[in-house]
Structure 1
Amino acid sequence: MDLRTSVSLLLLLLLGVCNAQHGLDNVQDSGSPDFLLEGDVFVPRTRNAMKCLGIPYSCLWPKSADGTVQIPYVLDSAYVLLYKTVDNTDRTNFASAMNDMQSKTCIRFIPRATQTAYLSIEANFGCSSLMGYIGDKQVVSLQRYGCVSHGIIQHELLHALGFYHEHTRSDRDKYVKINWANIEDGYDVNFQLQNTNNLNVTYDYSSVMHYARTAFGKNGLETIIPTKNPSAVIGQRNGISDLDVLKVNKLYNCKK
């Protein structure tokens, strides 16, 4: 690998880490046919996807006769081939993230055959996902450098299952304080409350769907402060929490 290639890889890596730290890619180009809500919830302007956003949990993946929720997916070949060499690290991370969710819920990720509705997991720029079940091909974008890790994969898959960010749930003001003055200009939309059904599950500081304390903060200033437990760690991307699992099982009426 020559010096130019090494420098290019380093720049891509830095870009990916930056996006992952921010709660993922939040580029909103007015000339683009699409936009991102809450930083990584992908909303096509050209399709009626807002129905899944306006009514919480209105777009659920259908349940099979055996009680499981089967979600077909296609994995981008870019996760395997890199500079004409085989690299299985990405595929191992996907398998680990999916298997972890499957072992604790009734969700089953299955390779797509001919299904019309499926997840197309693509190595695009940034980390983003459509919200809930669309009924057609729906893209989950996971950039190779910065997004293909256990917790971030699960974060985007939970969006695809229909979950919002924890810090935007309807009762969040009882548990966290949003420092609006510390938020980067133009990014306050990522902290707007949503009219969520919280499934009678308490607020979860440890949720993989929670933003970190300094998410979208000016010069690293704190934007989210836990109030019930000031020392709580928020914004972890190690993997789904116990309450994340509980919410999936409640939403999809799993027998787990």
Structure 2
Amino acid sequence: MKKLLIISSFLLLGLTSCNKEEKSIKQDSLPINKSDSAIYHTFSVDGKPFLVKQIGDNYYISDDVMISKRQLNVIKNIKSSNGGKISSIRKGTHSDFIYKWTNGILYYKIESSRRSQILQAFSIIEAKSNIKFIERTNQQEYVTFIDDSSEGTSYSSHIGMETGANKIVALYPTQGLGTIVHETLHALGYFHEHTRPDRDAYVAVNTSGLGQNAAFQYQKQPYSTSYGNLDFNSIMMYPSSSVMVKVGGGTWAAQRDSLSTGDIEGLNMFYGSKIIGSNNTCSNEIYTILHPNTVTLENAIGVATLTSLGNNKWKVERIGNNSGLVTLKSINADNVISTSTINIGGDFTFTGRPIVNPGQIYTYTVDPSVNNVTFSVGGATILSQTSNTVRIRVLNTASNGALPYVQISATGTSTCGVITKTIIPDVVI
């Protein structure tokens, strides 16, 4: 199903506690009380007029979506070349206009009284995506969540990760959890569903009777990518009205209650397919991967195998009693990579110097979660040991006078039983 990748939306299957006020959705209009001071700039994009509203030093392409001056320059550059046409492949254009959050991590700061609801919105998005929300410490790029009743609605001050911008998600007091998710998606780089470039195949829009302040909220975003069919149930969709009806007739009600199937697909296409399943297995585990193109298992030779089960499910199965850390990797149709590290057989870490010198002393350490650890060495002598460390001295020479062959083994009880791991360092003079 769909999704207007960068300009589209997504949401989760279960925003359960939205306020009833959201049912009437005010079309996410932002600076209602500032319309008189607005200046509208008209550009030619794909040969058609495209409006950008300016209030002071701020620029809007919808009343709850602000763009940066860099993004404004992208629009200006489209106007000045190729007769206002976008000539590159659409799937390549969105990355010029929208910057994704690096590694899918959105750093945040909460100055709102609605912290618990904001964190709930984050959990909703994380549950179906590769996006992670991490509270800001000293990161330069982050979003501040605030309370703001001055504009009559909630809004996002920027779309996507704009370097150096003062990024804000402002929450109107009577709008609930669904709106928080909606505005957070704007901050992640998503626009309204009804503005996708192919919307005319699904929706008849008539803005002839509207002034600029209302009409520009229905204009298509030509630098975006659409996936699948337009999703009337998307949480990013405006309701039908005298301005918008279905092609051939018909209406729909907008919702702020849940992520639609299309929303989830768009989320996975943009930031990578969500890999659902345990990070540990003693024998085998089934993984669900939403909307992948290719799926592989890496670093798994002799450790585990991968089998496709169909219906977006894959089985990772341990080989014998072997153990190790393997990587389940998914690449979607947009070449966005998702990975999940899986601990096969209760594998544990065993660390120490990979290069040693004859006669010198070294310490090797086992993960403290491992129990009943014993050590054995070759080409060295054990000087001392604790429950999870061993201190060795490398021999000066082997029995034949050559450099010693050194190996240090640790045997312990992990979550999956007894495992032995060995380190074989290089010996150099």
The two structures have a TM-score, normalised by structure 1, of 0.73
- Unaligned regions of 5+ residues in structure 2, if any? 1-20, 39-54, 79-92, 276-429
CA-to-partner distance for each residue in 1:37-83, whole Å, 9 max, x for gaps?
21111135xx42436777424411111xxxxx21110011xx33xxx
Find the partner of 1:128 among 149, 155, 160.
155
Find the partner of 1:155 among 166, 182, 188.
182
**C-alpha separation in 2, matches of 1:142 and 1:239:** 20
Rg larger in structure: 2
> Are 1:167 and 2:207 matched, yes or no?
no
Please state which structure has a larger fraction of its residues in strand: 2
Higher relative contact order (CA 8 A, sep 6+): 1
Please give the secondary structure, in 2, of the residue aligned with 1:121. Answer: strand
> Are 1:142 and 2:142 matched, yes or no?
no
Distance 1:100 1:255, change over 3 A: closer
- 1:230 corresponds to which residue? 250
**C-alpha separation in 1, matches of 2:263 and 2:95:** 15
Please give the secondary structure, in 2, of the residue aligned with 1:177. Answer: strand
Distance 1:224 1:199, change over 3 A: closer
Distance 1:51 1:206, change over 3 A: farther
Please give the secondary structure, in 1, of the residue aligned with 2:264. Answer: helix
- Unaligned regions of 5+ residues in structure 1, if any? 1-15, 64-68, 81-89, 215-221
- 1:249 corresponds to which residue? 268
Please give the secondary structure, in 2, of the residue aligned with 1:50. Answer: helix
How far 1:172 sits from its partner (Å)? 0.3
**C-alpha separation in 1, matches of 2:255 and 2:210:** 20
How far 1:137 sits from its partner (Å)? 4.7
Please state which structure has a larger fraction of its residues in helix: 1
> Are 1:98 and 2:122 matched, yes or no?
yes
- 2:207 corresponds to which residue? 180
Number of residue equivalences = 213
CA-to-partner distance for each residue in 1:4-51, whole Å, 9 max, x for gaps?
xxxxxxxxxxxx98x95132314443462213321111135xx42436
> Are 1:62 and 2:102 matched, yes or no?
yes
Please give the secondary structure, in 1, of the residue aligned with 2:169. Answer: strand
Find the partner of 2:238 among 211, 216, 220.
211
**C-alpha separation in 1, matches of 2:125 and 2:73:** 26
How far 1:196 sits from its partner (Å)? 4.2
Distance 1:70 1:186, change over 3 A: closer
- 1:3 corresponds to which residue? none
CA-to-partner distance for each residue in 1:128-160, whole Å, 9 max, x for gaps?
22111112354233234234x111111111111
Please give the secondary structure, in 2, of the residue aligned with 1:204. Answer: coil
Distance 1:163 1:228, change over 3 A: farther
**C-alpha separation in 1, matches of 2:247 and 2:109:** 41
> Are 1:42 and 2:66 matched, yes or no?
yes
**C-alpha separation in 1, matches of 2:118 and 2:194:** 25
